[in-house]
Amino acid sequence: MSNLQYFSLKGNNINGPIPGTFKGLQNLQGLYLSNNGLQGSFIEELCEIERLSELYLDNNKLSGILPTCLGNLAFLRTLDIGSNSFNSNIPSSLWNLRDILKLNLSSNGFIGNLSPEIGNLRAITLLDISRNNILGNIPTTITALINLEVLSLSHNKLYGSIPTSLGDMVGLISLDLSQNMLTGVIPKSLESLRDLQNINFSYNRLQGEIPDGGNFKNFTAQSFMHNEALCGNPSLNVPLCDNQVKKSSKEKKLLRKCIIPIVVSTILIVAGIIILKVKRRKKVENTLERGLSTLGAPRRISYYELVHATEGFNESNLLGRGSFGSVYQGKLHDGEMIAVKVIDLQSEAKSRSFDAECNAMKELRHRNLVKIISSCSNLDFKALVMEFMTNGSVDKWLYSHNYCLNFLQRLNIMIDVASALEYLHHGSSISVVHCDLKPTNVLLDENMVAHVSDFGIAKLMDEGQSKTHTETLATIGYLAPEYGSSGIVSIKGDVYSYGIMLMEIFTRKKPTDDMFVAELSLKTWISGSLPNSSMEVLDSNLVQQNGEQIDDILTYMSSIFGLAVNCCEDSPEARMNMADVTTSLTKIKTLVLGANRV
């Protein structure tokens, strides 16, 4: 054992502290203990393995402080301790690792300021300190990291301005400063970063004009939302800046003087005519439309508009049927495409659930949830009016004979779904359980962005509760064990369903496939392939599509399948939460994009 160079026990159920006997392995270069249940502290004995080059302790239950002796590991190139419970200051000795390439400290409880000595890490390519409690300014010395490709400082308590000199970090591919308290403007110097592909400044207190040069032309409103006073291109959901408005202000003043009196007179006349017509129409509509609801939105869509939009709920417009009713495609009089979910009222329980679903959906707003436009309800008819998803369900695309989703599309879809579930579980004051997550309930828009749909059996849990019982049946194959045995529903059940779907989307095998009999299930099939046989379970379409480059994909598939298996642990408490799932998959995507660039 003394000559052992690489040691891996990742993705098991190992508990307890890290054994101090590792210090005897003086030739060890790689130690991989990720995705276990290791507890206790970061033992100083690890610092005695002088030749250690890669150390992976992520996704465990380690806590306490990081020892200063870490700075003595001169050969260390990768240190990943993300998703643990470390809660100390980051030791200053860590910034002495001048040759380290990848450093991941994310999803812990690190405190204090970022040291100016961070600029010593001249060779580093990936630096992730997101989801901690780091305070203070972003040190300007960070711009000395000219080889850095991925920088994430999101979900901290950073304040002050974004250093203009970030524009000198020419290697940056991904920059995430979201969910902080940053102020000031977004530096125009960032326009010069030619390789920048992902950027996120959302949920800060930034103001001023959003740069529009360089790769900023490719970024969407999601990168800048929820700031104090940003302005610029209206396509980014921000107002025009003052300098853009002033150009036409003189012309507008002249128009106001001449046109306003004429317009006001015309409006008064037209308003009088409309009021008379509306009064007559309401007498008829009040008897035909009882109980129209709009989920707090200004849109009012009547039953008769829905009949017209769907051509009388014609079978040719039927998109699909589920346990709670049917969904129809429709077209409103203004040309807007909609999807109408008509609730099956044969069951009194299902009828009652409609109001619960409306209450749940009313407060839910997320880019990866299907948007509810309105609802229509009377004694004999209940329907939700939703935005229409042009590209249909993930299930349709996954099992299509005409098209094969590529690796990055599948990864993006599962990141979108994870983000939606993270919001449902942790993003509002009341946690929402979806309870029936599967590929048919995930829809794709025109840009192949995934949106989670069908909350017909979602259950709201009051504050302080983590579990509830239900008589509603979810879909066989995606059910968590605790649901099947005792009917217990919780957000951890959604995590289980997500894990099954994550396996399915990369294997193209349904959990109910005929091959899964007796003791063999989709979960055990995947588990048996880890860590070195992912090729045997990977969708053959991906293998054919990527040819000689398939080895590049297999590099990431072991991590993805390991994450899926973790989500499907028999014990609900042992499963990951969706915030950590989102973080893990986003990291994998960043690495994929970086590899493609090279």
Confidence band of 1 (pLDDT split at 50, 70, 90):
low
Q: Using CA atoms, how far apart are residues 212 and 222, in angstroms rounded to an integer?
A: 15
Judge whether residue 105 has pLDDT over 90. Answer: yes
Per the CB < 8 A criterion, the answer to whether 134 and 112 are in contact is yes
341 is known to lie in a ligand binding site: yes
- Given the residues 436, 454, 494, 539, select the one marked as catalytic: 436
Map residue 157 onto helix, strand or coil. strand
pLDDT single digits (tens) 477-535: 888 888 766 667 789 999 999 999 999 999 999 999 999 988 899 999 999 988 888 88
Angle between helices 550-567 and 491-507 (to 10 degrees): 160
Map residue 47 onto helix, strand or coil. helix
Give the number of other Cβ atoms within 10 Å of residue 367's Cβ. 16
- Quote the pLDDT of residue 351: 52
pLDDT single digits (tens) 157-176: 999 999 999 999 988 999 99
- Quote the pLDDT of residue 294: 41
Q: Using CA atoms, how far apart are residues 215 and 352, in angstroms rounded to an integer?
A: 50
Judge whether residue 376 has pLDDT over 90. Answer: no
- Quote the pLDDT of residue 295: 44
Confidence band of 189 (pLDDT split at 50, 70, 90):
very high
- Quote the pLDDT of residue 428: 66
Closest CA to 79 of 330, 71, 475: 71
Per the CB < 8 A criterion, the answer to whether 354 and 379 are in contact is no
Provide, rounded to the nearest whole percent, the portion of the chain with pLDDT above 70.
84
Q: Are strands 325-331 and 337-343 parallel, antiparallel or unpaired?
A: antiparallel
pLDDT single digits (tens) 306-357: 999 999 989 999 988 876 678 999 999 888 999 998 877 655 545 555 655 6
Judge whether residue 197 has pLDDT over 60. Answer: yes
C-alpha torsion angle, residues 102, 106, 111, 113 (rounded to 10): 50
Host H or E run for residue 215: none
Per the CB < 8 A criterion, the answer to whether 2 and 27 are in contact is yes
- Quote the pLDDT of residue 261: 67
**Mean of pLDDT values over 538-553:** 82
pLDDT single digits (tens) 382-393: 888 889 999 999
- Quote the pLDDT of residue 273: 76
- Quote the pLDDT of residue 121: 92
Q: Walk across the sheet containing 337-343 and list its strands.
A: 318-322, 325-331, 337-343, 381-387, 372-378
**Mean of pLDDT values over 52-74:** 92
Binning the chain into helix, strand and coil, the percentages to the nearest 5 are 40, 20, 40
Judge whether residue 237 has pLDDT over 80. Answer: yes
**Mean of pLDDT values over 222-247:** 83
- Quote the pLDDT of residue 299: 65
Establish whether 436 is a catalytic residue.
Answer: yes
pLDDT single digits (tens) 118-141: 999 988 999 999 999 999 999 999
DSSP string spanning 398-448? HT-SS----HHHHHHHHHHHHHHHHHHHHSSSS-EE----SGGGEEE-TT-
Judge whether residue 467 has pLDDT over 50. Answer: no
Map residue 467 onto helix, strand or coil. coil
Judge whether residue 364 has pLDDT over 60. Answer: yes
Judge whether residue 457 has pLDDT over 50. Answer: no
Host H or E run for residue 489: strand 488-489
- Quote the pLDDT of residue 6: 87
Judge whether residue 429 has pLDDT over 80. Answer: no
Q: Using CA atoms, how far apart are residues 345 and 382, in angstroms rounded to an integer?
A: 8
- Quote the pLDDT of residue 378: 73
Per the CB < 8 A criterion, the answer to whether 325 and 456 are in contact is yes
Question: What letter does residue 393 receive in the DSSP assignment?
Answer: B
Q: How far is the first Cα of the chain from the last one, in angstroms, to the nearest whole number?
A: 37
Judge whether residue 569 has pLDDT over 70. Answer: yes
Domains (range + CATH), the chain = 6-244 (3.80.10.10), 303-387 (3.30.200.20), 394-597 (1.10.510.10)
Judge whether residue 460 has pLDDT over 60. Answer: no
Give CA 29 to chain center in angstroms.
34
Report the 3 state secondary structure along 254-280: HHHHHHHHHHHHHHHHHHHHHHHHHHH
Per the CB < 8 A criterion, the answer to whether 100 and 121 are in contact is yes
- When the pLDDT of each residue in the chain is averaged and rounded to a whole number, the result is 84
Q: Using CA atoms, how far apart are residues 299 and 359, in angstroms rounded to an integer?
A: 17
Closest CA to 84 of 116, 107, 110, 112: 107
Judge whether residue 418 has pLDDT over 70. Answer: yes
Which parts of 138-297 are beta strand (E)?
150-152, 157-160, 174-176, 181-184, 198-200, 205-209, 229-231
Q: Using CA atoms, how far apart are residues 127 and 106, in angstroms rounded to an integer?
A: 9
Give the number of other Cβ atoms within 10 Å of residue 446's Cβ. 9
Judge whether residue 267 has pLDDT over 50. Answer: yes
Map residue 79 onto helix, strand or coil. strand
Per the CB < 8 A criterion, the answer to whether 160 and 182 are in contact is yes
- Quote the pLDDT of residue 474: 63
- Quote the pLDDT of residue 505: 96
Question: What letter does residue 547 receive in the DSSP assignment?
Answer: G
- Quote the pLDDT of residue 521: 92
CB-neighbour burial class of residue 257 (10 A; exposed 0-12, middle 13-18, buried 19+) = exposed
